Amino acid sequence: MGRRVRRHPSTRVRSPVLPPAFPDALELVDGTDPNHHQRWLNEVYSDKSLVTQYALTPGTPDLWQSTSSSTRPSLMARMLTLLDVHDGNRVLEIGTGTGYNSALLCHRLGSGNVASLDIDPELVDLARDRLATLGQHPTLAVGDGAAGFADDAPYDRIIATCAVQTIPAPWLAQLQPGGLIVADLRGDLTSSLLVARDNGDGTVSGRFLAEPGHFMWLRAHVDNPLRDGGRFATHIDYDDVHTTTTSLNPTILDEPSFRFFLQFIAPDMGRIWTSNRNGKTLVRISDGRGAWADVDPVSGTVIQGGPTDLFKHIEHAANLWEKHGRPDPTRLGITAGPTGRTLWLDSPQHPIA
């Protein structure tokens, strides 16, 4: 979980030649090194995200995942505009990272009105030092972003520079009446920015925007890059399978609007990709936890295994999407409360699921 102050000299960037899956492919671009300085300037003033931290996935010998970055400036600016802060507003940022976004908030509102939280104590310490060189001293804390930061609550605004699957209940409890939450809601398939306003009854409502965020996941453990703290499931068990047929046209799985809809109707849905098995090109669906399905787009045969009937969820979501006129993400929104969330179409008065 993380992000941002002046994109720092220790910013890591992916090598343009070597794949980023191995430590050898990471190159440190150091702005204090005269041989790197111009390249460093080019990177930090570019409108792209810069990876600043990687971590090894538990249970795997060589699977490294990015765990913090400095997000592209145009996206930061867009989210800060959506945050719609006013003089005197108190803001909680989830995901301190390098401190870049915190610096912008401090410049606008003053350090005393800004609190920022990150799971990684090293990132927080580095951000504190960087912000201090700018004369800014916001409240920085180490902790699970899903719990928010009750010590400085309530807040007029909460901004998450990390991805969440739904709005955590503690954020709702720490939000002032009429306050706003700006976050990136995503699943394993796609993502969308959301601006949700407090309803005055312990819930927030907001419509999805056309812009995706694709932020790194909020995670609960500093030593595990996976959002649920579990292990990365790579094994596919072909010994216990069952076969069915479907009339659903698998090309629907390539529809971006349906993918977005699907991951909210079936939030455990994982990756969808093309595979080859026994000489046939198949569409494979997996939840990353052992459930999987292979779909033959020619015959409509579905072979699946694992603890969950994944394709049944896909068929249900497809029928619901067709029933409601194949809506794109901008027609959808959620109302989130302490006990869960409701997906709605066009307005909170028209709930779908």
Asked if residue 45 and residue 95 are part of one domain, the reply reads no
> Where is the domain boundary, 55, 70, 85?
70
Whole-number pLDDT of residue 28: 77
**Domain-embedded: residue 240:** yes
pLDDT at 9 over 70: no
Asked if residue 165 and residue 56 are part of one domain, the reply reads no
Asked if residue 54 and residue 173 are part of one domain, the reply reads no
Asked if residue 42 and residue 148 are part of one domain, the reply reads no
- Which has the closest alpha carbon to 94: 209, 200, 4, 11? 4
Q: Which region among 63-77, 151-165, 234-248 has the lowest average model confidence (pLDDT)?
A: 234-248
Question: Regarding predicted confidence, which is higher, 164 or 20?
Answer: 164
Q: Which region among 14-23, 255-264, 315-324 has the lowest average model confidence (pLDDT)?
A: 14-23
How far apart CA 47 and CA 230 sit, in angstroms, is 33
Sign (positive or negative) of CA dihedral 24, 29, 35, 39 = positive
Asked if residue 81 and residue 45 are part of one domain, the reply reads no
Q: Per residue in 263-317, pLDDT tens? A: 888 887 888 888 887 788 888 888 867 888 889 988 899 999 888 888 998 999 9
Query: What is the percent of the chain where pLDDT is above 70?
Result: 89
The alpha carbon of residue 195 and the mean position of all alpha carbons in its chain are separated, in whole angstroms, by 15
Domain membership of residue 253 as a residue range: 233-353
**Domain-embedded: residue 239:** yes
Classify 258 as helix, strand or coil.
Answer: helix
Q: Per residue in 222-237, pLDDT tens? A: 877 777 655 445 556 6
Whole-number pLDDT of residue 235: 58
> Where is the domain boundary, 23, 44, 70?
70
pLDDT at 325 over 70: yes
Question: Regarding predicted confidence, which is higher, 54 or 209?
Answer: 209
**Domain-embedded: residue 164:** yes
Q: Angle 254-259-262 (CA atoms, 0-180°, nearest 5)?
A: 135
- Which domain CATH number covers 186? 3.40.50.150
Q: Exposed (0-12), middle (13-18) or buried (19+): which is 61, by Cβ within 10 Å? A: exposed
Asked if residue 247 and residue 181 are part of one domain, the reply reads no
Which amino acid is it at 150? Answer: A
Asked if residue 92 and residue 55 are part of one domain, the reply reads no
Whole-number pLDDT of residue 202: 93
Question: Regarding predicted confidence, which is higher, 241 or 18?
Answer: 241
**Domain-embedded: residue 217:** no
The pair of three-digit structure tokens given for residue 269, joined into one six-digit string: 């849905």
Asked if residue 309 and residue 199 are part of one domain, the reply reads no
Number of compact structural domains in the chain: 3
Whole-number pLDDT of residue 192: 94
Asked if residue 192 and residue 131 are part of one domain, the reply reads yes
Whole-number pLDDT of residue 230: 55
Q: Per residue in 337-350, pLDDT tens? A: 998 899 999 999 99
The pair of three-digit structure tokens given for residue 139, joined into one six-digit string: 């409240």
pLDDT at 27 over 60: yes
**Domain-embedded: residue 3:** no
Classify 143 as helix, strand or coil.
Answer: coil
Residue 337 neighbours by CB distance under 10 Å: 17
**Domain-embedded: residue 227:** no
Whole-number pLDDT of residue 251: 85
What average pLDDT score do residues 31-43 get? 88
pLDDT at 200 over 90: yes
pLDDT at 19 over 50: no
Asked if residue 44 and residue 154 are part of one domain, the reply reads no
**Domain-embedded: residue 246:** yes
The separation between the first and the last C-alpha atoms of the chain, rounded to the nearest angstrom, is: 29
Whole-number pLDDT of residue 11: 38
Asked if residue 83 and residue 48 are part of one domain, the reply reads no
Whole-number pLDDT of residue 2: 34
Mean pLDDT, the chain, as a whole number?
A: 86
Q: Which region among 20-24, 87-91, 327-331 has the lowest average model confidence (pLDDT)?
A: 20-24
Question: Regarding predicted confidence, which is higher, 292 or 11?
Answer: 292
Whole-number pLDDT of residue 326: 96
* φ, ψ at 94 (rounded to 5°): -100, 110
Asked if residue 285 and residue 174 are part of one domain, the reply reads no
Q: Which region among 1-10, 28-37, 203-212 has the lowest average model confidence (pLDDT)?
A: 1-10
**Domain-embedded: residue 96:** yes
* φ, ψ at 189 (rounded to 5°): -100, -40
pLDDT at 30 over 60: yes
Cα-based distances in Å from 217 to 6, 198, 235, 306, 318: 22, 24, 23, 25, 27
